[in-house]
Amino acid sequence: MKSLKIFVLALALFTINVSAANLNPIKPTDDLRIEIVDLIGTNYMDEMVENEYSAEVLFTVNSKRELIVLSVDSDNSQLESYLKGKLNYKKVDHRPAQPGEIYLLPVKMIKDL
């Protein structure tokens, strides 16, 4: 019975800790967005079949100022792989205001016609 009480207490503390975490992603600053656009580059145009792709990139910046891609939400799996490869663990100049900040960046890639 005592171990059950300890388990319930540990579960309650874990739940409080998780709910207190910053789970609401914020919009990246303009400087950070410009750095990310430069990292993505423009050589994806050759591989594009459709005229437009969109994705939402969820990421954070670690203490070494590296982008850590948490997820890429897109209908196109090739675009997901491309964005992860171009962004994950790449250095940026941005220093987060708070450690562990999570950013959400909508990405729209349009093919030049």
Q: Three-state SS across 57-77?
A: EEEEECCCCEEEEEEEECCCH
9 falls within a domain? no
Is the pLDDT at 113 greater than 80? The verdict is no
In degrees rounded to 5, what are phi and psi of residue 27? -80, 130
14 falls within a domain? no
8 falls within a domain? no
Which structural domain range is residue 96 located in?
24-110
Is the pLDDT at 101 greater than 70? The verdict is yes
- Sheet containing 52-61: order of strands: 67-73, 52-61, 102-110
Q: What pLDDT is attached to residue 9?
A: 55
13 falls within a domain? no
What is the number of domains present in the chain? 1
55 falls within a domain? yes
Q: What pLDDT is attached to residue 110?
A: 82
